[in-house]
Amino acid sequence: MRNILEIRDLQVHYGGIEAVRGISLDVPEGEIVTLIGANGAGKSSTLRAIAGLVKPSAGKISFLDEDITGMDSSLIVSKGITLVPEGRRIFPDMTVLENLKIGAYLRKDKDGIAEDLNWVFDLFPRLKERSWQAGGTLSGGEQQMLAVGRALMSRPKVIMMDEPSLGLAPIIVKGIFEIIKEINKQGVTVLLIEQNANMALKTANLGYVMETGRITLHGSGEELLANEAVKAAYLGT
């Protein structure tokens, strides 16, 4: 199986602070890969570097064998990588439909956009029911659905999600993870960062553990769930 995304020796600095310290990881095409770790481990910085939102200070990011390191973020979206940011970041004063259409801002294929809008509404029937409501009036779970739906509107090959379960009730979290599996089943590769390590590792094919800017462990989701160090640090068992 080929890697859709490869990261080699990635470093990210903010001023004098080294947030990511020379990490390497592979994202195989068609799989769900998760990056787990405590707050401040460098997980978000890694996703932001892939998305072109921060410039790496060293290392290489390859997407489908093309070097995309330091490329402009809109160019990265057009190549097929989107990020669902932490805290959802939807446009509160715009309707659900307007929020979704913004996700397709780089596209010109009207028929394809209409098709993908139907796909998003099939995945999230609640968004269809509320398509004329302002985004800010939705519940937290619905806003997360909207953020994921908006990212899907760019028709990505890889969707990256930064803490999709943050601040949501357990029953809603379960639903979000079911959707992640469904999106993946439909051919989209998923790179996910989560503090809910248990749920993330149960969902992922492959997992990486990140601590203070470095990758300390990696393996299948099952292997990491069974790992004593992971259990002690992240699973509360």
Q: Give the whole-angstrom CA distance, residue 66 versus residue 103.
A: 24
Query: Is position 169 within any domain?
Result: yes
Neighbours of 102 (CB within 10 A): 14
Q: Give the whole-angstrom CA distance, residue 106 versus residue 153.
A: 10
If one compares 89 and 180, the residue with the highest pLDDT of the two is 180
Q: Tell me, what's the pLDDT at 106?
A: 79
Question: pTM (2 decimals)?
Answer: 0.93
Segment 198-206 shows an average pLDDT of 95
Q: Tell me, what's the pLDDT at 235?
A: 84
Query: Is position 147 within any domain?
Result: no
Paired strand residues for 26: 6
Does residue 159 surpass a pLDDT of 80? Answer: yes
Segment 24-42 shows an average pLDDT of 95
Looking up residue 226, the CATH number of its domain turns out to be 3.40.50.300
Q: Give the whole-angstrom CA distance, residue 88 versus residue 55.
A: 22
Query: Is position 128 within any domain?
Result: no
Q: What percent of the chain has pLDDT over 90?
A: 84
Q: What percent of the chain has pLDDT over 70?
A: 100
Give the model confidence (pLDDT) of 36-75 as tens digits.
998 889 999 999 999 999 999 999 999 999 999 999 999 9
* 59 Cβ neighbours under 8 A, 6+ residues apart: 7, 8, 9, 10, 11, 22, 23, 69
Take residue 178 and report the two structure tokens written for it. 């079911």
Q: Give residue 108's pLDDT band: very low, low, confident or very high (50, 70, 90).
A: confident
Q: Give the three-class secondary structure for 17.
A: strand
Residue 80: burial class (beta carbons within 10 Å; 0-12, 13-18, 19+): middle
Q: Which residue has the tokens 């990265």?
A: 76
Q: Give residue 4's pLDDT band: very low, low, confident or very high (50, 70, 90).
A: very high
CB of 204 closer than 8 Å to CB of 36? no
Query: Is position 138 within any domain?
Result: no
Query: Is position 113 within any domain?
Result: no
Rg (CA), the chain: 17
Query: Is position 134 within any domain?
Result: no
Q: CB-hemisphere CA count at 13 Å for 56?
A: 28
Does residue 109 surpass a pLDDT of 70? Answer: yes
Q: E strands, the chain, where?
A: 3-14, 17-28, 32-36, 58-63, 66-67, 81-84, 158-162, 189-194, 206-211, 214-220
Residue 133: burial class (beta carbons within 10 Å; 0-12, 13-18, 19+): middle
Query: Is position 200 within any domain?
Result: yes
The range of the structural domain enclosing residue 69 comes to 3-93+155-235
Does residue 237 surpass a pLDDT of 70? Answer: no
Q: Give the whole-angstrom CA distance, residue 43 versus residue 125.
A: 31
Query: Is position 230 within any domain?
Result: yes
What mean pLDDT value characterizes the chain? 94
**Looking at the 3D structure of the chain, how many domains does it have?**
1
